[in-house]
Amino acid sequence: MIDRKIVIPAVAADGSLYPIEKMQAHITGQLHLAVSVFVFDRDRLLLQKRAQGKYHCGGLWANTCCSHPHWQETVEDCAARRLTEELGITLPLRRHQTVDYEADVGAGLREHERVTLFSASADRTRLVSFPDPEEVEAIRWISLANLRREIARDPNSFTPWLRIYMDRFPDLSFGQAA
């Protein structure tokens, strides 16, 4: 997949936002805004396997949806937009806390994100998804217990940020909605 020169919000030292090209943020490791969405059916989480052509972490399993808001786009709008664009799903989202993390994502790129976490509930037997093949290679539902076991057995099959979230929130309970 060819990166389309997307401009995202970076976070300055004083907390203010400024525009930066997405790849530049990842090359320099600049702190920037992001969203992560987790769709659950009770104790099962919908995972996506990132398309091989993604600019980083292609072929790795991740939470349901992750992305960066466009410059001047709200995190709420971004989460809803990307859930639809990546997976063809529209669901009511609950906003949770915002967390920072840093991770080496290979190929000389770094994620240094201020991520707002979102969750949604769905009935996996009735949910219809239309994954964009440029974004998503596969999807699957997994229990949290099995996800923890798979990450312990083969951590390199999962994105760094999913491993970080599982370390920080073992039951993926993010607390009360903001």
111 is in an annotated binding site: yes
Which residues have CB under 8 Å from 43's CB, separation 6+? 143, 144, 145
Instruction: Report residue 91 CA to chain centroid gap.
Output: 16
> Is 56 a known ligand-binding residue?
no
Q: Is 85 annotated as a binding residue?
A: no
Q: What amino acid positions are annotated as catalytic residues? A: 66, 113
Is 96 within any annotated ligand binding site?
Answer: no
Pairing of strands 136-143, 109-121: unpaired
Query: Are 45 and 139 in contact, with CB atoms under 8 Å apart?
Result: no
* Axis crossing angle, helix 160-168 with helix 144-153, rounded to the nearest 10: 120
Known binding-site residue numbers for Mg(2+) = 86
Known binding-site residue numbers for Mn(2+) = 26, 32, 68, 111, 113
